[in-house]
Chain A
């Protein structure tokens, strides 16, 4: 109680001395970083949880690339289950000349069986639950689609061969499927109108879903009935399986963002340790005095601990509030990337914030305080007497424990833990080494500059250890921000710019065999620069090297797994490694090897190979299954099994924007199969006008505007990078708190130095220039390292990870150097200004 009174009484005055302020700032930044991410992940997690039973829009959902057998619906109805049907097809929607690719969801009147569709009267309007589904002749486009087409409620939109009236704007559907919105805008149509659109032709790329709901036992029994009849082409999901994927995606993203925020927290630890050391230095005399006046060691320790606890509580409140605001801002900035109604966050991130703040204090401030309490009373008479040297385990043990605890709590994975610790240590070590070298270099050159700069450089090199810590801490934050900035702007733009301007920018798929030649002529007649036409059919790999794919997968994964959805099979480039064997693929057959394909093993099909059971695979596919030339495989193509051997392996240049496939069969073998065709073409600005007549004439052909898709992909990447960048902004703040802590620790020294300089005749301007020189140099070195590191990392990312050409970006260096020098010098100047402008006499007299 006495300790509490004493702690409270002196707190206000302690505050003015500065150490507690820096401590509060450092802890608040740490708490803000952790809780900001915490609130974000928590809210998304809660949303996912809440939507778990709605995400299917049913209790049981069967999805397939093939129409769902009608008897399944009959069987469900017999079992008193409610049913609904959703047919999804990609098609271009028109409003006059304006057109936009959209994901059309054609639904029955019973949709959705669980959850609600919400609609509005205008694009981006106020959402209200829909009381019905679109009637015949009606369409419910979403805001994005209407915005692109420029229409509103009452507009007439053309889809395939049909024309529909907009009777409402679709705001949300329960089965949007994932937290991240589909790339293409969407629209709802009535199932009864599907035939009128003529969108579905044999071999068209549509996907089908059957929705079932009812009594849980009946659903479970029906599920068993469906699974027994499912030939693996349909994906059967009930509520228990609906959310794990999203949940694990949120979990992974959350863990990554938490790791990013942890970097800021660890930097704050340095600032906390520095301020705690300053606090101890300042309190050696008063603790010795208290002991002289009869205070016990426990009492003096209690006074400091109570003050720190108050700082911890205050930092939790301030940090959490800042974290919440940052999270709100980020959600605003992410805009429609997250397309769910987020519930309010729970209180749990607050607990995390408090826990982290106490852990950081316990690890980094408690040991110095323990030391402080050991200062002997004799110090009141002999100022050279300090506390006895600390025990090694006590000095570093709690810090190591706190850091290990925090990291382990965030990563919860041994390998990741080791990776993070080793990676961060090496990274910070490299930064520190670079900082040390540059500071040493600057120190050597101080003879070549004027008195003010010499004073600044001398300060930097005299407090070398502190300078290097500040450079590493600040440089780390700046580097990551520069790198992410580079990813957001340069890398993606450079990639787009590096591609030839006349690359195909439209893809045409779902071309019925009968339309292939007319379409080819149509494109040629309208001045489009077309590319090759390739046939396309779905196939599934069922045996590899004499082993069924199922068994190979089980052996590889250590147990049986549920087959992944055939619904995922879009056949686009870059599937997951495990996914190659799992899912249906689009395959083709051709005699011609495109210029964008290069044989790296085996031999391309010769004329003699026509009709022979041979296959050519892309390097990605062959490597993922560890296949060599001559290895046997069995494919199921539209129900027929084909035993083939691997004839060649191709390296495919995917960004040629020409039709390309992982799997190419020898010509002649699949000629009889009922597939569709695909091609791509370059359309200039004028050529785009022909899309409208093209879609009208070939309604079942799906047209993809690559520019638009790339724009959307880029927007997603941009926003994801923004999210990460925002989290790393905390790292920059943490770097600044390290700077402030270092300045705070050197305040008395600086005060004395400037008093001495001014006594010796230096003007205020000279002292000011000297201090500014020190901070500008510190910022320049940090900026130099940050820009250098970001450039190297950007180069690596471009070359190795994204396989993009890399170009030198001067702005990274401009922002790095000027930003670093500017931020550090302004912060440093503000922190030291009051110290260096004290009247020298007051300082030399030792007045407080």
Chain B
């Protein structure tokens, strides 16, 4: 695999069995994403965007095909192996924020560093929270924060390990336009400053347009060029 390619898939297929029969959610997707690139996956609801994101991040396993993430073949790793890879190389931002309600903002941000076994988790987390402008609210629990603040904590958590790839699933979906725009701003400034690859799924046209590349999906297939320069 080319050293600059951080994500690559070959003939990726994801099928699920339902009472109506076998459903193909992701169909024959082959794509490459270079390091430092920002890519938006767009498409109608049910097009398979989130499933593709989950497959690329190693949260789910494909029915067939292969995926490489940060140099590792995900299809050869078991669940714990994929988790270890995520801990070291991947950050996440979700639509529903997904902060651990029982931990403070600081503890939430420390979590990935601690899971990866890194030293100075507290310093790193404080630094990361300061970068998203929440230095004053480190001791607050998620329910004491607004939606925008919660997403900034999530962003700080996603970036604290300086991941190779940042996956974002509808990061502005639960926020009003102004807050969403601020989060988008933050996301791209992080991408530029730390050369992190950003792969996001979004319905937010403004957010998608800020990405270097937009991949459009329909009925499980990629209908716009999936390979850079293609």
Contact = CB atoms under 8 A, between A and B. Distances in A.
Interface of A: 2, 5-6, 9-10, 12-14, 17, 285-286, 289-299, 376-378, 380-382, 847-848
Contacts of B157: 293
Interface string B66-99: 0000000000000110111111101010100010
A295 B87 contact: yes
A377 B103 contact: no
Contacts of B114: 2, 5-6
A293 B59 contact: no
A594 B36 CA distance: 112
Interface of A is mostly: helix
Given A377-B82, A381-B50, 8 more contacts: A290-B100, A290-B111, A291-B79, A294-B90, A298-B80, A376-B79, A377-B59, A382-B54
A381 B53 contact: yes
Given A10-B100, A13-B103, A381-B50, A376 B59 contact: yes
A120 B115 CA distance: 71
A145 B229 CA distance: 110
A216 B135 CA distance: 84
A12 to B, nearest CB: 8
B115 A293 contact: yes
A293 B80 contact: no
B88 A289 contact: no
B210 interface: no
A291 B141 CA distance: 21
Nearest to A300: B83
Contact of A10 (B58, B83, B103, B112): B103
Contacts of A17: 102
B54 A381 contact: yes
Nearest to A14: B102
Contacts of B116: 294
Contacts of A12: 102
Interface string B124-156: 000000000000000001110000000000000
Given A13-B141, A293-B86, A294-B115, A381 B59 contact: yes
A299 B79 CA distance: 13
A383 to B, nearest CB: 9
A376 B92 contact: no
A2 B115 contact: yes
A8 to B, nearest CB: 11
B173 interface: no
B102 A13 contact: yes
B46 interface: no
A377 B141 CA distance: 23
Interface of B: 50, 53-54, 57-60, 79-80, 82-88, 90, 92, 94, 98, 100-103, 107, 111-112, 114-117, 141-143, 157, 169
A285 B143 CA distance: 16
Contact of A380 (B59, B87, B101): B59
Interface centre among A2, A13, A377 (most CB of B within 10 A): A377
A378 B112 contact: no
A295 B92 CA distance: 14
Nearest to B143: A848
Contacts of B169: 381
Considering the complex of A and B, which 6 residue pairs feature the smallest CB-CB distances, nearest first? A294-B87, A13-B102, A10-B102, A296-B80, A377-B59, A294-B86
25 contacts: A6-B114, A9-B107, A10-B102, A10-B103, A13-B102, A289-B98, A290-B100, A291-B79, A292-B57, A293-B112, A294-B85, A294-B86, A295-B87, A296-B80, A297-B79, A297-B83, A377-B58, A377-B82, A378-B60, A380-B98, A381-B53, A381-B94, A382-B54, A848-B101, A848-B142
Given A6-B114, A376-B60, A378-B54, A292 B86 contact: yes
Residue in A380, A381, A382 with the greatest tally of chain B CB atoms within 10 Å: A381
A292 B90 CA distance: 9
A13 B107 CA distance: 13
A292 B92 contact: yes
A296 B83 contact: yes
Given A10-B100, A285-B98, A847-B143, A294 B59 contact: no
Nearest to B80: A296
A297 B117 contact: no
A17 B107 CA distance: 19
A294 B112 contact: yes
Nearest to A383: B96
B108 to A, nearest CB: 10
A237 to B, nearest CB: 65
A389 B142 CA distance: 32
A19 to B, nearest CB: 12
B194 to A, nearest CB: 18
A292 B60 CA distance: 10
A285 B94 CA distance: 13
Given A5-B114, A9-B107, A381-B94, A295 B83 contact: yes
Contacts of B84: 294, 296
Contacts of A376: 59-60, 79
Nearest to B102: A13
